[in-house]
Amino acid sequence: MVRVNEPTSPSNQRNTPTTLLQPAFAATKPAFIVMPKQVPSQPQPLPSISWMQKLVKSLLSVFPKALKPHLFEMLVKTSSFIGWSPYHNIFCLPFKLVMKTTDRAVEADALRFVASLRGIDAPTLIDFSSAPGKTYILSTWIDGDCVSDIWERLTLLDKEMIVQDMKSQYSAMRQETSTRDHVICSASGVSIEDPRVPWLEELPDATFSSSRQFMEQVWVGLNNDRTPRPLYQMLIPLIQRDTPIVFTHGDALPKNIILPGGLELYRRGHSRLCIIDWEYAGWMPEPWEAIKATWLVSDRDEEEWYRMMREVFPDQCEVLDAEWEWRTQLRITIL
């Protein structure tokens, strides 16, 4: 939030839109200077893609599909050779573009869908192509500071701004996509693959027709004789609850939150945060976003991110309490 000092005005002109300043020495009729009223800036969403990015998108739309994997692999190798690869599967390219390699097209489908929603800032999908065992996803590169990289520099006010920004964007996505009859699945409409529920990989079809079916897979081990009765009584009503199905990002962690233009620009209120890394996105029960945002927290009393996420998802505090008790009491290892 930027604090803007209004121009000082005479007491009898407090409600006027301008300030009249009289020179200290006036030989004749006083001259007045009209000062325009200052208006605080508003956070701006990400700008639309540049003309060069649009040109690349247009050219790729007519490029032979069979040759795209070869073209994209060449770009990946070139980026890696000249040192433009910040991570093992991320390859920076000219014109503020980036190529990501993965084994599924979930992120491409997620970015394409999110572009149709209002109030969500995410990278723009330029193109993607799949080859056996490998998918190439070309999107816009977001210049800025990653929250995980600047965590120690963040003030309490910075964190409060991030909380309110995340709350606004994730709430907008829930409101626009909430439904009762969508199958629970990945953004591509196929089986869910997520590190929070790795045991789903053992199922022949990890899609679900109801929230209850999925939540039974989230909190496993309840039928064990060693499960404390109070824990069982806490979780069963939440599992059986008929919750809306919404489109979720599925990875709301500091490493996936970018402040476009950097922290200082964000502090001045000129930009909104951008949500990246949509590879775990999908149609999930409403509590899932909050569960995934906190699943790596090891000490909820010490880690501030946990407190922040309870503010981002205030309707899910009961679920987060239950999730914590399940993790700490049953001590189920998630690999």
Q: What is the pLDDT of residue 48?
A: 80
- Residue 133 predicted with pLDDT over 70: yes
Q: Could you give the 3-state DSSP secondary structure of residue 296?
A: coil
Query: CA–CA separation, 97 vs 93, rounded Å?
Result: 5
| CA 66/CA 63 separation, integer angstroms | 9
Candidate from 24-38, 93-107, 179-193 with smallest mean pLDDT: 24-38
Closest among 60, 95, 91 to 77, alpha carbons compared? 91
Q: How confident is the model at residue 331 (pLDDT cuts 50, 70, 90)?
A: confident
For residue 5, pLDDT beyond 70: no
Determine the 3-state secondary structure of 139 from DSSP: strand
**pLDDT range class, residue 304, cuts 50, 70, 90:** very high
- Taking a C-beta distance cutoff of 8 angstroms, is the pair 268, 194 a contact? no
Got the DSSP string for 215-228?
Answer: HHHHS--TTSTTS-
CA dist., res. 177 & res. 25, Å (int)? 65
Question: Where would I find the H helices in 82-190?
Answer: 106-114, 156-177
Q: How far is CA 52 from CA 55, 59, 62, 137, in A?
A: 5, 11, 16, 18
Percent of the chain clearing pLDDT 70 (strictly above): 87
CB proximity list for 104: less than 8 A, separation 6 or greater: 135, 186, 188, 193, 279
Locate the DSSP E strands across the chain.
Answer: 19-21, 33-35, 90-93, 97-102, 125-131, 134-140, 144-146, 185-186, 245-248, 257-260, 274-275, 282-285
- Average pLDDT in the 216-242 region? 95
The yes-or-no verdict on residue 19 having pLDDT over 80 is: no
For 137-181, the pLDDT digits (tens) are 999 999 999 999 999 999 999 999 999 999 999 999 999 999 999
Task: Give the residue with greater pLDDT, 10 vs 121.
Answer: 121
What mean pLDDT is predicted for residues 197-214? 96
pLDDT value at 23 more than 90: no
With 0-12 / 13-18 / 19 or more C-beta atoms within 10 angstroms meaning exposed / middle / buried, residue 275 is buried
**For residues 107 and 104, what is the distance between their CA atoms, to the nearest angstrom?**
8
Question: Which 3 state secondary structure label does DSSP give 269?
Answer: coil
Q: Which domains does the chain have, with CATH numbers?
A: 51-140 (3.30.200), 144-330 (3.90.1200)
Strand-pair partners of 138: 99, 127
Selected residue with higher pLDDT from 8 and 297: 297
Average the pLDDT over 254-275 and give the result: 96
Q: According to the model, what pLDDT value does residue 54 have?
A: 97
pLDDT recorded at residue 37: 39
| Rounded Cα gap, residues 331 and 315, in angstroms | 26
**% pLDDT > 90, the chain:** 81
pLDDT at 41 (0 to 100): 53
Using CA atoms, how far apart are residues 238 and 321, in angstroms rounded to an integer? Answer: 11
Could you read off the pLDDT of 38-55 as tens digits, one per residue? 334 567 677 789 999 999
125: its two tokens: 């999908």
Cβ distance 261 to 148 under 8 Å? no
Confidence (pLDDT) at 225: 86
pTM of the model: 0.85
Give the pLDDT mean for 188-209: 97
- Is 158 exposed, middle or buried, given 0-12, 13-18 or 19+ CB atoms closer than 10 A? middle
Query: Does residue 286 contact residue 244 with C-beta atoms inside 8 Å?
Result: yes
> What pLDDT is attached to residue 13?
40
How many C-beta atoms lie closer than 10 Å to residue 285's C-beta?
25
pLDDT band for position 12 (cuts 50, 70, 90): very low
pLDDT number for residue 224: 86
pLDDT reading at 34 higher than 70: no
pLDDT for 1 equals 39
d(CA 140, CA 98) in angstroms, rounded, equals 6
Largest CA distance in the chain: 96
pLDDT at 125 over 50: yes
pLDDT at 4: 37
pLDDT at 70: 97
